[in-house]
Structure 1
């Protein structure tokens, strides 16, 4: 077993034991005299320093002014280290009071009872301040009574960035469906030598297309994929045709989003799927390509997917009420709006969208169009890939079988059959049925 996997298993085991011990002590331990609530909070964010130091420090100062005697210690953690550091801190009994995570990783902690439930500390009015779809991104399951585990923070949604010059030379528009993509890909390849599209398999875009085609992520019984039928087979078969006919780069099987952006910047690929936050990267790296960029809705997806970052409060935080007050402050409509002015992301709060930021033209018409389209998608889209237990294993199963179909090693129907069987084994329904 690789050392990193062994360490992760040990951390998870220690975390499970720590959570269980804390629960048992709370349930059976002696009644102690209440200690004064701690007045020092620790806030962990993800990769905001040093470019956004002034913003975060301003948030902290305004919170401390509103809560005399409280101090907030800010720690910014690199993206790649956040999961490991969070697991280690919680397992060691020294977690941050508020931590910036993504819903899928948060869901793992919530399964173990390691995160506090927001509704226990927020009023219904405070919950209603967030976009319903953004709030749903931080719930385990959709049934009534499903438990939330974090507050939504900023939102992103993917667009298609298209190179107008390449499309014009081929005489095609940005395709909206997979059949249109296949036709456009052939014409772009013949006319320009470039590829039409780079379907990055390291993200969730192919899985989002499957869900959008069928309308649900899990089956009605919650035990398997919700796309194991004709619509799902059509999506997989379209990816197979793109690869088998040489209409996408061969390295789509091994490379991800970073390579897709590089290929787009070099003119090797006419379209990529990414968020509006990457427009600045394109503008900086290649102003001549930026001048050719147009934005459009996601290729081959009838409904946009929302990606929502969050702020979670560990269940072992000493003063959860104060910690949630800090999380509410950071994610308030005013403070999210200020973040959206600094960074091309979108707020998760309804009131933020009444600001002129979203209607007043700026000096960059392309960014304005990207923001306007992204806002429409936020209000019409959904979390197509919701947080579910053991999501990582489900994603690996899906990508592995999609790759097998693209390579011609199995048909689309065979791939879906394997995905259905593997997902049911991972989710545990097969074991429960046999018990």
Structure 2
């Protein structure tokens, strides 16, 4: 009996030893599940499902230790969603944002500082002026991705009725064209919005006219002769009846509608809008042609950027940086530009894109528009400087411009009031 008891004790101890060994082994064994990156984009599904499936697949094959989970967020929901995710510490590892919003969070130290993790060669892969737009206080926080550059889309029939041979290239010519079209056709030449929550187009026009929005100390830099002249330009157009009255209350979508209905002679938008016009108003598309973006005496052309940022809270910063560099490399930027009718920000991709357009046989209006947009990149930059409170500056300028247009203030008062508002609230 003693031997049986001893055997049972030995068996139990042995089994316990095996169990404990298994537990310790499980605790010590590395997690074989590959780390997962969460990647958020803005309203790119379902059109680009194939593109991202291929791109992510290629990345995962080249980096077997990393898995990428792609999440697409509706355009209007992104700001609220990313802020909520940041607050609950569930932010993605790589996220697609526009610079205006990204810089607001950069001011709160939300994004990974890229300077210590990138080589100088990697940062120089992007157009210099576009890279600079993703910096704040001298620190880089974003990877430039795809671009859009406004061109002039114009109604050839209205131009012919007004006796205009070629579209304007400067704001001075634009004012003359607006007057001639109104007098000869009764139509408006174009639509501009002064709604602060909408586009930055009017704010950018001030920069193109030679206005410095803020000085090196961050104070208002536009209470100058150049600033007053730029304010006067827009006030005069409105008071002379050369801008639609709804410019003070409606946004850029109204401008699209007016052009598509034949009520305006020009639309300032990216080349992809040509396809939109063709779908919504084919008769207008058939008489539309394209020309370079309007500029001022500076010759500067504006460009809009979509970028990639990495939340500072990411648990896999190395993998996130590697993925962001991959998505924005020359090969992938060129492929995405061709698939999306946007423009690349990678230097090599821009060269390849321009070469392909020049060597192609496509003579369509949209192809011409894309070619013009690509050629403009050499003179293009983010016209609005990186500002923590851009919305405050924009509202101050737009509100005071409206007041001057409605004769509630003189131009001098409007400029001074806008400058004081910015300096007090920035």
TM-score by length of 2: 0.87
CA distance in 2, matches of 1:289, 1:58: 37
Larger mean CA deviation between 91-100 and 213-222 belongs to 213-222
Q: 1:75 to 1:135 in 2, by over 3 A?
A: same
Shift of 1:167: 1.0
Count of equivalent residues: 389
Q: 1:38 to 1:413 in 2, by over 3 A?
A: farther
Q: 1:312 to 1:349 in 2, by over 3 A?
A: same
CA contact (8 A) 1:236 1:402 kept: yes
Q: 2:284 aligns with which of 282, 289, 295?
A: 289
- 2:343 is paired with a residue whose SS is coil
2:214 matches 1:218: yes
Shift of 1:38: 6.7
CA distance in 2, matches of 1:303, 1:193: 31
CA distance in 2, matches of 1:286, 1:137: 36
- 2:383 is paired with a residue whose SS is coil
Q: 1:176 aligns with which of 155, 169, 182?
A: 169
Deviations 1:363-413 (A, max 9, x none): 343223212221222111211112211111111111111111111211222
Structure 1 segment 36-55 matched on structure 2, within 5 A: 39-55=35-51
Q: 2:110 aligns with which of 106, 114, 121?
A: 114
Structure 2 counterpart of 1:130: 126
Q: 1:38 to 1:408 in 2, by over 3 A?
A: farther
- 1:43 is paired with a residue whose SS is strand
CA contact (8 A) 2:222 2:419 kept: no
Structure 2 counterpart of 1:370: 369
CA contact (8 A) 1:38 1:318 kept: no
Structure 1 segment 29-428 matched on structure 2, within 5 A: 39-141=35-137, 146-172=138-164, 173-201=166-194, 202-214=198-210, 216-224=212-220, 226-301=221-296, 302-355=299-352, 356-427=355-426
CA contact (8 A) 1:214 1:227 kept: no
Gaps of 5+ in 2: 1-27
Cα RMSD (Å) of the superposition?
1.8
Runs of 4+ aligned structure 1 residues displaced above 4 Å come to 35-38
Q: 1:325 to 1:404 in 2, by over 3 A?
A: same
Q: 1:81 to 1:403 in 2, by over 3 A?
A: same
- 2:265 is paired with a residue whose SS is strand
CA distance in 2, matches of 1:243, 1:182: 11
CA distance in 2, matches of 1:384, 1:425: 23
TM-score by length of 1: 0.86
- 1:118 is paired with a residue whose SS is coil
CA contact (8 A) 1:116 1:312 kept: yes
Structure 2 counterpart of 1:24: none
CA contact (8 A) 1:134 1:155 kept: no
Deviations 1:290-344 (A, max 9, x none): 1221222333533111211100000000011110111111111100100111111
CA distance in 1, matches of 2:104, 2:34: 27
- 1:269 is paired with a residue whose SS is coil
Shift of 1:215: 5.2
- 1:161 is paired with a residue whose SS is strand
